[in-house]
Chains A and B, each alone.
Chain A
Amino acid sequence: MKRKAESAMKTAASRAGGAVRPRARRARLIVRRLPEETLVYDLDTSRAHCLGPVAAAVWRHCDGRSSAERIATVVRKETGAEVGEAAVMVAVDRLSEAKLLSAPLPPAGRSRREWLKQAAMITGLTVVSITAPLSVEAATCVANCATRPNTPAGNCGAIPCCPPATGRCCRQGSGQNCGCRTSGSCTA
């Protein structure tokens, strides 16, 4: 099953990524490499991203000259992970979405969507946005408590709700948004 999926991904990747020569964006980014991940802050969009080790390695080797196949070879050597051309294309696609490439990739065709779906389980390929938990921002009051998703935990903040609402913005039951609790503390 796994081999079949890998083979399908390879075929699709060759079709979609053969001609792609991605170039990483370097300007106006702040990059910090940690032992298990790479953090990137985009000064243009004020967005922060966390790159898994494979995605980070792919990004480092996007020099505008190397093909996906070439990048896969280098990344495989560097990380020891079983990275193929398809995995590189998934990473490149995610990097493009995060605006970490100097030029965006052309819109995804049906085949690319397919291998993106199939590659979802590959570890280390993640490129995720980092958002601040509300309480880290030390807001004085929460204007839109009821529209904030319940998770992650600090998202509700236990911070007073802005008038006209009253109480503190607290976690509710799973699947619900945060809510203004008027009596007791958020931990009660």
Chain B
Amino acid sequence: MSEQAGGAVVAAILSGSWREPVDGWAGTGNDLDKVAHLLLHGGVAGLAWRRAGESADRPGVAAAELHQAYRLQVLRAALHEQAVARSFALMRSHGIEPILGKGWAAARLYPDPGLRPYGDVDLYVGLQAHAAARAAVATPNADCPIDLHAGFAELDDRTSDELHANAVDAEAGGTRVRMFGAEDHLRLLCLHALKHGLLRPIWLCDIAAAVEGRPAGFDWDRFLWGDGTRTRWAVAAIGLAHRLLDARLDGTPLAERARRLPRWLAPAVVAEWSSPRPAQGGRAPMAAAIRRPRTLLRAIGTRWPNAIEATVGVGGSFGAWPRLPYQVAESARRSARFVVSIRRDGDHF
């Protein structure tokens, strides 16, 4: 199996895997064995097991592995729900009302919360409330795995008031929690996935599930509103979900726009899925490698931006032009940022 083929098989397995009912996958147990590590690494073991685990031509080690990962995700979903409830209680005890995004909020898009893996609890607070929120997170014995965002990250082309006004309530572990409205959340999922170069297939599944599972009355104008470049990126992300995972765009005003993708875009995603590398935050710190030339070269290699994250990093557009200049520019931007951080923080390593 070629490097590219692995990612293509991953996409084929995940196609429609979030739907209820789900169609069985027509592939072979051999194919499943070959891409099991890609599925596990990509956070899509649960979805893959749901679609392919029992429909492959023979039960194999890979299917058992995927099933095992699904079981753990079911239990982690329960633990994570409690963590979400605790996080909101903690913030409210400090007079802060955050908005929840990604993770648990994205898992609600699937028919079963165990189909998606969980990390931190992503909480977004306005810049004015950030210092107080940071103090809350630092409370001794807080026991909340919170990823606190100062401001609204990729949604900062909307005001805090607008985002709060469109936010919706849900219940997690008996606690009322506040999540981004469906339009804002879909835009966040799209922009976040692209910012990180769509390294993990689960991010594209989230987008596909959010498009197909959008509530009645979903306001596409609200989704499209905001910075024009970001809007075009978000539409491209939905186009990728359609192209690679067969997300259904019927009844959306994006069907035509989302189908017009530059030639390099889908293959770039497939290549990324074929050769997994740790996402930002999961890599060893660059500072740890700087004094060892061999390790340094490898660290630089794992950080070489793919075409998507490079384009987004430098604020470019998804045109037909070659991506190498964007990658070089993004790499230079990151290096400069790293050097600045060394100068600022001193020689602590």
Contact = CB atoms under 8 A, between A and B. Distances in A.
Interface in A131-156: 131-133, 135-136, 138-141, 151-156
Interface in B67-96: 68-69, 71-72, 74-75, 78-79
A157 interface: yes
A186 B75 contact: no
A135 B40 contact: yes
Nearest to B68: A130
Contacts of A30: 75, 78-79
A187 B34 contact: yes
A56 to B, nearest CB: 13
A47 to B, nearest CB: 10
A136 B117 CA distance: 9
Contact of B3 (A41, A130, A151, A185): A185
A154 B79 contact: no
A130 B140 CA distance: 31
Nearest to B32: A153
Given A151-B61, A187-B6, A41 B78 contact: yes
> B interface, by DSSP: helix, strand, loop or mixed?
helix
Interface string A102-143: 000000000000000000000000000011110110111100
> A interface, by DSSP: helix, strand, loop or mixed?
loop
Q: How large is the interface on B (under 10, 10 to 19, 20 to 34, 35 or more residues)?
A: 35 or more
Contacts of B320: none
B74 A34 contact: yes
Contacts, number: 91
B37 A135 contact: yes
Contacts of B109: none
A8 interface: no
Contacts of B79: 30, 41
B65 A153 contact: yes
Given A48-B72, A153-B36, 9 more contacts: A34-B74, A133-B40, A136-B117, A140-B284, A154-B37, A154-B45, A155-B65, A163-B295, A166-B294
25 contacts: A30-B78, A30-B79, A32-B78, A39-B71, A39-B74, A39-B75, A40-B75, A48-B72, A130-B71, A133-B40, A136-B69, A138-B41, A138-B278, A140-B278, A140-B282, A140-B283, A141-B284, A152-B64, A153-B36, A154-B65, A158-B276, A166-B294, A187-B6, A187-B34, A187-B37
